[in-house]
Every structure is written in C-alpha cells, then in structure tokens.
Amino acid sequence: MMEKLMKNVIYSSIQNFFQNENDFFKYTSQTGMTEWNLTHHLCNELSKYIFWLNNELDVTKLNYNRKRPDIIFHKRLSNRFNLLVVEAKKDHNAKYSDIEKIENHWMSGTLSYRFGAYINIWDIHEFEAILIVKEFNGFKEIKISEDNSEHISLHILEEQFKQHIRNVLHEVDKDSKHEFLEKPLEEKLDHEILKVFSLENRNIR
C-alpha cells in the first residue's frame, strides 16, 4: 500500500542522506548550515524515489498568505497529483507547529496533498521523522524509525520501470476529467507504482 511505501521512501532518503552527506554537520567557524541547505539535500534524496513527479523547494503559495512549504512533490499546473509535502528542521528542540502547518495548510483545502512529512535532522544518524496520512475523518501520524521501516535499494529502480510509471502517469492525467484525481485512476497509478517497487513482481509490460 502507498502508506507503507511512502514511509519506506522517507526512511530510505534519510538514511541515504546520512551516507552521502556524512560530513554535513562538520564545517568551519565561518560557515553556518541553514535549513534551506538541509532541505536541498533531502529533496535530492527523495526525488530519486519519487521520480515520476516534479519537485520544488520553498515555493510561495499565493492563496495561503504567501506561506512556503519546504519541499513538495506534485505535477506542475495541476492539483491532481499533489503527493507529498515536507517540512524540514535541523533543531533537536524544534516544536511540532510544522505538523499543524502541514495538516491545516498543505493537506487541506484546495491543495490537499495526500501525504505529509515532518523531518527533523540535527546530527548524523540523529533524526525524528513523522509521516502524516490523510484519512476520511482527519489525519494519522506515524513515527518513522528503523523499527518500523525498510530501506529501499535504488538498484531496483531501473530506467525501464521508471519510464513505465511516467507513461502511466500521462495516461491517468489524460483520462482524468476533474481537478482532483478520481479514485479509480488514483488506484490504477498506485498499483503500477507499487509494482515497480516490489521485488516479487517485476514483470511489467
């Protein structure tokens, strides 16, 4: 299911960040790392998994008093594929106001992102991450950790499988007649995405 996949994608992206940017928190006294820089590296890692959508950093939402989500994965010029919005922090003592922002601003109203993530990284292998899932009567918050998540190897995402998903996305977008994606089309896209990420079912035509 997509909820489990998104949890594993976020966990895998954080772990890959630790591996690829293992000296991120080591710098001279003349340099200060900002949350924007952390967000940039996180987006790079997430985009390796969420390859079928556009990604943006720190965009301004004019209808939301010019508030700016840190990272979004969507399809430009459409709200049909608003998949993931991320708020990132690098402060161990950061509060949970970002979770409220995700739920009340980005996962509600005209944007209605399907998933949200709060990611706080304050040192190498020191992090807190929460996946937010939109449900019929509200939101569910799932803490992401080594105990409940699996690392997804990027080696399984061969280019032929990536192109297959891009083709399905184009078909679904063409078939949709509404601002938001109809449930049967969403389920069709989900099915093909999950198939690509499954090691047991790789016979894609």
Q: What is the predicted pLDDT for the residue at 201?
A: 46
- Do residues 96 and 28 both lie within one domain? yes
Asked whether residue 203 is domain-assigned, the answer is no
Q: Is 176 exposed, middle or buried (0-12, 13-18, 19+ CB in 10 A)?
A: middle
Asked whether residue 202 is domain-assigned, the answer is no
Asked whether residue 162 is domain-assigned, the answer is yes
- Do residues 19 and 52 both lie within one domain? yes
- Do residues 54 and 123 both lie within one domain? yes
- Do residues 34 and 125 both lie within one domain? yes
CATH number of the domain where residue 47 is located:
3.90.1570
Number of domains observed in the structure of the chain: 2
Q: Round to whole Å and give the CA distance between 39 and 59.
A: 12
- Do residues 99 and 175 both lie within one domain? no
- Do residues 109 and 189 both lie within one domain? no
- Do residues 179 and 145 both lie within one domain? no
- Do residues 147 and 163 both lie within one domain? no
Q: What is the predicted pLDDT for the residue at 63?
A: 67
Asked whether residue 188 is domain-assigned, the answer is yes
Domain span at residue 168 reads 156-197
Q: What 8-state DSSP symbol labels residue 118?
A: E
Q: What is the predicted pLDDT for the residue at 67?
A: 80
From 132, 151, 170, give the residue that closes a domain.
151
- Do residues 51 and 141 both lie within one domain? yes
Asked whether residue 35 is domain-assigned, the answer is yes
- Do residues 173 and 134 both lie within one domain? no
- Do residues 98 and 23 both lie within one domain? yes
- Do residues 31 and 104 both lie within one domain? yes
Q: What is the predicted pLDDT for the residue at 125?
A: 93
Q: What is the pLDDT along the chain (205 residues), one digit of tens a residue?
A: 899 999 999 999 999 999 999 988 887 777 777 788 999 999 999 999 999 999 999 887 756 677 889 999 999 999 999 999 999 998 877 667 889 989 998 998 889 999 999 999 999 999 999 999 988 888 999 999 999 999 999 988 889 899 999 999 999 999 998 989 999 999 999 999 999 998 544 444 4
Q: Round to whole Å and give the CA distance between 167 and 137.
A: 33
Q: What is the predicted pLDDT for the residue at 33?
A: 75
Q: CA 90, 72, 77 angle in degrees (round to 5)?
A: 160
